[in-house]
Structure 1
Amino acid sequence: MLSGELKPILTALVLPPVAPLLLALLGLVLAWGKRARIGLALIGVSIAALWLLSCYPVATRLSEALLPPVQAVKPEDLAGVQAIVVLGGGTLPAAPEYGAAQPATPTLGRLRYGAWLARRTGKPLAFAGGVGWAAADMQMPPEAEVAARAVQDFGVTLRWADSKSRDTVENANEMKRLLAADGVTRIALVTDFWHMPRSVLAFERAGFSVLPAPTGFPAPMVRPLLAWLPSPEGLALSRAVIREALGLWVAR
């Protein structure tokens, strides 16, 4: 197993929902032994943590507390950049309704925003993404290949496509190699708001001048009472925020 393939496994172990469930399992073991009070306390803490981390308001507060703030941009803010770079966020390898792999929801949102900016600014569009370390099948089509087909639905084409990179650091390095031939060093970087701080750091270290162009900002989706009930959306956002906060700390 390559060292990069260990990253998603180790990451999953320290993030919700796995981490609280492991804590609950430890509590259960202790509760069966001579430390019942400690075990029950751990079970209670893990259940409470998993509940709260699955609530959307908690997830948004975590993003504000753990990640540097990022601001939305307008097309006119891109006057000084030479290209728009969109980062991949996964693919759906099996999409029988299309008969071909399709962008996963994060990738589709980033592609749409990148295409929207490209149409309004005339800036060329690039996409970075191969087959990630966590992919179920390393032989699946790279994200860039899937993105190149999908982005045509938005009325634009990719000028540069990196199909080799497997994580954010490799995204930056491969884009530097591809864009260097055209002298591109000033870019607008498109990815989800929670992914932006670590992505900017990686691309600046690769030698780019970066204008963050975040998308996917959190927003209330249901009534306040329902928002405090656990939901997949809340858990997914909490997981993404905690992962990025840890990744940013390690990167720094």
Structure 2
Amino acid sequence: MFLFLSKLLPIFLYPLGLSCVLLILTLILLWKKRSRLALIPVTLTFLILFLSSSAWISDAIVESLEFQYITQGELPTADAIVVLGGATESALPPRPWIEIREEGDRVLYGAKLYRDKKAPKLILSGGRVDWRPSSSSEAEDMAILMETMGVQRSAMLLEPRSLNTRENAVNSLEIMKAQKIQKILLVTSAMHMPRSMMIFKKLGIDAIPAPTDYTSIQLGQATRSSLEATILDTLPDADQLRRTSRAMKEYVGILVYRLRGWA
């Protein structure tokens, strides 16, 4: 039940879900002939959607997460590389094979770190929510993809049960203890890294962040010097709305995990 509620309730805090709630409130007020009062929720709806779909706002929120663990210099070696799931879709019809989501950089980067000899083992952590159809766990999907990139199956330790980030950490820790693994490189999306590191550290895991899947680049490398760029970055954009929502999901997750004592 916690898993379902953790997916359902935050939807109404994200820009699109909150806007829908406000629009329903607007309709109720109009039905009750409170048209002047209805201006408040409809105005809030406009502001929420406009601001959260602007690149200026989206970049600020996203970068506050993604820039917390920027890698400085070369990553050290470790006993294992832990790659968190959330990067693949099962090969269900009409898909001819496993599909990689935007977060698929996790799989690519994990394989690269292994081939760069940063660690002798890979822990692939990720299950599937049972109310959604799937043919395999995310851990198995990642293993298949990594095999095509030249990673030996014998180097992979699969953890196919996790359904959220805390379970990723708890179940990975079980494998670490069984394999006598002390230090890990933690691979996940840059936006997801702050929450992940909080949880892994809470469990006493010696984790070195190895973020990937950046949706922003460092300040100073991108400029909005032209009038055209300024206008386009200010106007609403569906992709920016998605980035803002994804960042808000992380902040909500951090809050919930802290309240439960997990981070």
Q: TM-score range by the shorter chain?
A: 0.7 to 0.9
Task: Give 1:102's match in structure 2, choosing from 87, 99, 104.
Answer: 99
Cα distance in 1 for partners of 2:115, 2:158 equals 18
- Kindly indicate whether the alpha-carbon contact (under 8 Å) linking 2:102 and 2:213 is maintained by their aligned counterparts in 1: no
The answer for the alignment partner of 1:174 in structure 2 is 171
The answer for the alignment partner of 1:77 in structure 2 is 75
Aligned positions of 1:222-233 closer than 5 A = 223-233=229-239
The answer for the alignment partner of 1:237 in structure 2 is 243
What is the Cα deviation at residue 205 of structure 1? 2.1
Q: Compute the RMSD of aligned alpha carbons.
A: 2.5
- Kindly indicate whether the alpha-carbon contact (under 8 Å) linking 2:29 and 2:37 is maintained by their aligned counterparts in 1: yes
SS in 2 for 1:181: helix
- Kindly indicate whether the alpha-carbon contact (under 8 Å) linking 1:179 and 1:185 is maintained by their aligned counterparts in 2: yes
Return closer, same or farther for 1:224/1:141 CA change in 2, 3 Å cut-off.
Answer: farther
- Kindly indicate whether the alpha-carbon contact (under 8 Å) linking 2:66 and 2:190 is maintained by their aligned counterparts in 1: no
- Kindly indicate whether the alpha-carbon contact (under 8 Å) linking 2:82 and 2:123 is maintained by their aligned counterparts in 1: yes
Task: Give 1:111's match in structure 2, choosing from 104, 107, 113.
Answer: 107
**Structure 2 residue 98 is the aligned partner of structure 1 residue 92:** no
User: Scaled by the length of structure 2, what TM-score is found?
Assistant: 0.83
Cα distance in 2 for partners of 1:102, 1:65 equals 29
Name the amino acid aligned to 1:250: V
What is the Cα deviation at residue 52 of structure 1? 1.7
The answer for the alignment partner of 2:39 in structure 1 is 40
**Structure 2 residue 145 is the aligned partner of structure 1 residue 156:** no
What is the Cα deviation at residue 102 of structure 1? 2.8
SS in 1 for 2:75: helix
- CA deviation digits over 1:22-65, x for unaligned, max 9? 11221232133243222122112112211221223311211345
Cα distance in 2 for partners of 1:97, 1:78 equals 42
Return closer, same or farther for 1:73/1:4 CA change in 2, 3 Å cut-off.
Answer: same
What is the Cα deviation at residue 125 of structure 1? 1.8
Runs of at least 5 residues in structure 1 that lack an aligned partner in the other structure: none
What is the Cα deviation at residue 88 of structure 1? 0.8
Larger CA deviation: 29-38 vs 54-63? 29-38
Return closer, same or farther for 1:132/1:36 CA change in 2, 3 Å cut-off.
Answer: same
User: Scaled by the length of structure 1, what TM-score is found?
Assistant: 0.86
SS in 1 for 2:97: coil
Cα distance in 2 for partners of 1:65, 1:196 equals 12
The answer for the alignment partner of 1:126 in structure 2 is 123
Cα distance in 1 for partners of 2:204, 2:4 equals 27
